[in-house]
Amino acid sequence: MSHTIHCKHRHFVWDKSLPPVLTVAPGETATFEVMDAWDGQLGPDSTIEDMLKRDTARVNPVTGPVFIEDAEPGDTLAVTMLSYRPSGWGWTANIPGFGLLTDEFPEAALHIWRYQPEGNAPILYGDVAKIPLAPFAGTAGIALREDGAHDIIPPRRTGGNMYVRDLTAGSTLYLPVEVRGALFSVGDTHAAQGDGEVCGTAIESPMEVTLGFDLIKGYQSPFPRITRTRAPYPQAGGVDITLGIGPDLHEVCRDAVRAMINELTAREKLSPVEAYMLCSVAGDLRISQIVDAPNWTVSFHMPRHIFD
């Protein structure tokens, strides 16, 4: 069975007390209408003046939450990104006070993009560059066990604003369930993004995303992880990805590598030190997001073709 969740059902915090707008059983799919990162306050004809007048309380809305039948703490929710339907326009901004080099770029800037929402036509950056269209959800997550409202901007152990650009169609996101029903939401769709999202924004673009849901009962990793079977970028196809999320960049790098070692020891029957050495010679450690203080996202990528 397939469902549709309209963007009027959106929220701006993670909170396990939020009432679900839909119940989905494992094996079912749902299509989410997703607003852009500023909740529709900008449009295809917006200017810097419009940007500066934005309501800063309306940032990073997510559509949901959705209650997953039979999901209990200790389980893992598997969310497969089945397809994206981009809108054909988006924006990128330099926001004063936000971004990796905010002290060096204090002035506001805005770029409006228009692109073909279907096919493989690149997104044109004037006559300077052609950006491959690679839509993905910047934010996808579930409720935390702690009571109260939690800021939606920093990513957390239950997912959220992770900005891992590999969440394109064909990928599956695995999230550790901490509350009954998981309470899944998705938002902040991007038409394209570089690793790190260094200025703080990607090509922020509203779109529809269709997701499939499943459960892994009685198993849980401490952080989200991802598998990707298609190649949205000019690189090898299938890849397994483990994540580290937290305020200490060195420690989250360690978390991401440690999680991959655990995956390889379980799946490939390697000893921990053998898996560690394999990670060093074949894996890629990448900063996926370093602008959503206080937590950063690091991803560790292991290509599948080496095991063929």
Q: What is the mean pLDDT of the chain?
A: 91
3-state secondary structure of 52: helix
Strand partners, 173: 79, 226
Q: Does the structure show a pLDDT above 70 at 230? A: no
Backbone angles phi, psi at 280, to 5 degrees: -70, -30
Say if residues 161 and 138 touch (Cβ distance below 8 Å). yes
> The tokens of 111 are what?
């770029």
Look at residues 194, 154, 184, 101 and name the one whose alpha carbon lies nearest to residue 294.
Answer: 154
Count Cβ atoms below 10 Å from residue 308 Cβ, excluding itself.
6
Q: Does the structure show a pLDDT above 80 at 203? A: yes
Look at residues 80, 296, 273, 307 and name the one whose alpha carbon lies nearest to residue 184.
Answer: 80
pLDDT value of position 207: 97
Least confident of 39-53, 121-135, 139-153: 121-135
Q: Which residue has the higher pLDDT, 120 or 226?
A: 226
Query: Above pLDDT 90, what percent of the chain?
Result: 68
Fill in the DSSP letter of residue 307. Answer: G
> Amino acid identity of 289?
Q
Say if residues 198 and 101 touch (Cβ distance below 8 Å). yes
pLDDT value of position 234: 42
- All domains of the chain in start order, with CATH: 2-220 (2.60.120.580)
> The tokens of 94 are what?
């330099």
pTM of the entire predicted model: 0.86
Q: Which residue has the higher pLDDT, 273 or 12?
A: 12
Least confident of 81-85, 114-118, 226-230, 239-243: 226-230
